[in-house]
Amino acid sequence: MDRDFIARNQIVERYLSGRLPLKAATEFERFCRDNPKLLDEIGLPETVNAGLRLLEAGGKPEPWQEAPRPFWQRPQIIMGLAIATLVLGLTLVLVAGDGANKAQKIVKLEKQLAERPLDPATSTREIRLLPSREGGSNTPAIIIGGRAAQLADFKIDESRSPYKMFRVTIDRIDQGRVAVLGNLAKDSNGHLHIALNSSALGPGNYQLTIEGVSWRGDPEPDSWITIGIQR
């Protein structure tokens, strides 16, 4: 390959346009390496500069520049996602551990509640109560309990009631039924006696619904009273 061959066969134009076969392109590159002045003779620097100006005018990157990466492939984005993933993983581990600890505490407390015996009553407290005949109330008429368990001896005045036998239903207000006491008879003074260990029930307000038992054995509403229990 010489200068005449290059000129006759338009080697430069074909090389620049990528139409030159691989073997011919290799020989042309070797010839240019051995004869660098040829590049100036064929005006290659001017051609390259003109091409670069066209790329710049068209907003295209120069061939040796790295093509811009999508934003998700940028190092700062990848690093930020990695840190966020790590923080999220640590948070999930902490939340899972906290949830497991809470579950264990709940199971332990439920077990203690189920196995806990009644506290022995250290004193007996006689309490006289006059029930309401107009309906139940959320306000306790008396509060029992405290730090030490008490045996509360309730004497409920039913002297005005025509019934002799009664049924007493105990409900924890806004929660549910606790107990039903049947076949209770009033004494000669017209009192119903109910003895209760204050540690038998949890703290809160309890409504006692007192029903008279008719001669047919049917319970009928008679009166109501509310008591409070504290610890």
Q: What is the pLDDT of residues 177-200, one digit of tens each?
A: 888 998 899 899 999 998 888 778
For the segment 147-163, what is each residue's pLDDT rounded down to a tens digit? 778 788 899 999 999 99
- Average the pLDDT over 82-89 and give the result: 83
Across 8-17, 57-66, 73-82, 84-93, the highest mean pLDDT is recorded for 84-93
Strand partners, 229: 144, 204
104 shares its domain with 167:
no
Q: Answer yes or no: is pLDDT of 132 > 80.
A: yes
User: Is there a single domain that holds both residue 27 and residue 78?
Assistant: no
Last residue of a domain, one of 115, 149, 184: 115
Q: Are strands 165-172 and 204-213 parallel, antiparallel or unpaired?
A: antiparallel
For residue 83, the enclosing domain spans: 71-115
Query: Do 181 and 133 belong together in one domain?
Result: yes
Name the band, by pLDDT with cuts 50, 70 and 90, for residue 70: low
- pLDDT value at 49 more than 80: no
Residues 197 and 219 in one domain: yes
Q: Which of 1, 8, 48 is nearest to 24 (CA)?
A: 1
Residues whose CB is less than 8 angstroms from the CB of residue 119 and which lie 6 or more positions away in sequence, other chains included: 148, 149, 197, 199
The reply to whether 149 and 218 lie within a common domain is: yes
- Number of folded domains in the chain? 3
Asked whether residue 164 falls in the same domain as residue 212, the answer is: yes
Question: Looking at residue 205, which CATH number applies to its domain?
Answer: 2.60.40
- CB-based contact 46:52 (threshold 8 Å): no
Instruction: Quote the mean pLDDT of the chain.
Output: 79
- How confident is the model at residue 169, as a pLDDT? 92
